Amino acid sequence: MTLPDAVSLVRTLVAEPSVSSPDPAHDQPNRRVVERIAEWAEHLGFRCELVPLKTDPSKANLVATLGTGEGGLVLSGHSDTVPFDRAGWDTDPFDLVEKDGGRLYGLGSADMKGFFAAALRAAERFRPEELRRPLVLVATADEESTMNGARQLLAERRPQAARAVIGEPTGLAPVRAHKGILMERLTLLGRSGHSSDPSLGASALEGMHEALGVLLALRAELQAEHRSGDFVVPGPTLNLGKVEGGDSPNRICGKCQLTYDLRPLPGMDVARVRDRIRGALAERFAGDALEVVQESLAEPVPPFAEQPDATLVRDLESMTGRDALAVMFCTEAPFLQALGMETVVCGPGSIDVAHQPGEHTTRSQLEEAEALYARLIHRSCVEAA
């Protein structure tokens, strides 16, 4: 079987909804996407295994292997997309539309269904008997929400290889480092009462004002302690995302909540930073009339960094003619790296158009990605001793 052209492959994948979200109202299975990728991969000689997620059997990871032996290369991507605002789209988000000189518009076209088209087309150039080391294609579930697909791969200790490339949209620039993410919710519980007499209650909203001061002071401390010139924003960030509390101007606020996120640099221990923040907040309200509840909104994603002199970094810098970068967004890279592989993020499309109406990739980026991945497969799986 000869695969369809890359644009046709992307069109087929975009047409299969696979939104993942912590909100059950938006969350969808990814099965049809990974089954379609597996169907194409099997025709190329891959041995395909669909592995249901233990957290949700309607979701599955795909691990497809071409060739045998140890070492080799993993090409990995996520099969899900974020939710979408249909009213913001000029086109149907599930119908890939080409316009504006080769731009391909559709939900997930850049982030990151286009990657699978390029990876499959690159793999098609090789016969299984040519490979001295295996090529593994991975499609994960729930990267855009919980990263449970990648977490399960790590727990299962699969796949095993020497190197891995994650095809997140980087404009085909190699990325060797990114920040992590910690998302937390702080709840202050006070006592409501008539606003004419403050002694009748305990204002959670006024307490939140104090909590914000603690968090901003900690942010300044963390940024003074940790800094990396590799990043456009060189320090860790702490964003105060949402505050809500109270119900009426003439009632003392009995409950107030804050959600915030922290983006730690490589080298920062996420669990220790979380404990430091929680400890500072607990200390501030010790003996206070307010009850403090602190909880994580999701499991943290650790920061990621690959050594600048790693052979995979050097190979991709040579092949692309571009120096490896550090970025602020998160990927599944730390989970694959934890399996013992040299890991780099490098894929077609731009992160600047992801997660928004009008998401698109281009024909030229798909063609460049196919050629790049073919060179990398040859280097990692054919030339490898």
Q: Which residues pair with 262 in a beta bridge?
A: 182, 238
Which token pair is 253? 């606020």
Cβ-based neighbours of 210, under 8 Å, separated by 6 or more: 284, 285
Q: How far apart are CA 272 and CA 279, in angstroms?
A: 10
Q: Which residues pair with 237 in a beta bridge?
A: 263
Which token pair is 271? 């669990």
Q: Which residues pair with 137 in a beta bridge?
A: 64, 75
Q: How far apart are CA 64 and CA 188, in angstroms?
A: 48
- Catalytic residue, chosen from 80, 144, 168, 370, is 80
**What's 148's DSSP letter?**
H
Q: Is the dihedral of CA 314, 318, 319, 324 positive or negative?
A: positive
Q: How far apart are CA 325 and CA 25, in angstroms?
A: 37
Collapse the DSSP code of 310 into the 3-class scheme (helix H, G, I; strand E, B; otherwise coil) and give the result: coil
Q: Are 370 and 116 in contact (CB under 8 A)?
A: no
Work out the angle at residue 11's Cα, subtended by the Cα atoms of residues 100 and 321, and round it to the nearest 5 degrees: 65
Of 37, 13, 17, give the one whose Cα is nearest residue 27.
17
Let me know if 143 is a catalytic residue: yes
Work out the angle at residue 378's Cα, subtended by the Cα atoms of residues 336 and 77, and round it to the nearest 5 degrees: 30
DSSP symbols for 70-83: SS-EEEEEE--B--
- Catalytic residue, chosen from 16, 111, 142, 143, is 143
Q: How far apart are CA 245 and CA 53, in angstroms?
A: 36
Q: Which residues pair with 295 in a beta bridge?
A: 185
Let me know if 124 is a catalytic residue: no
**Which residues have a catalytic role annotated?**
80, 143
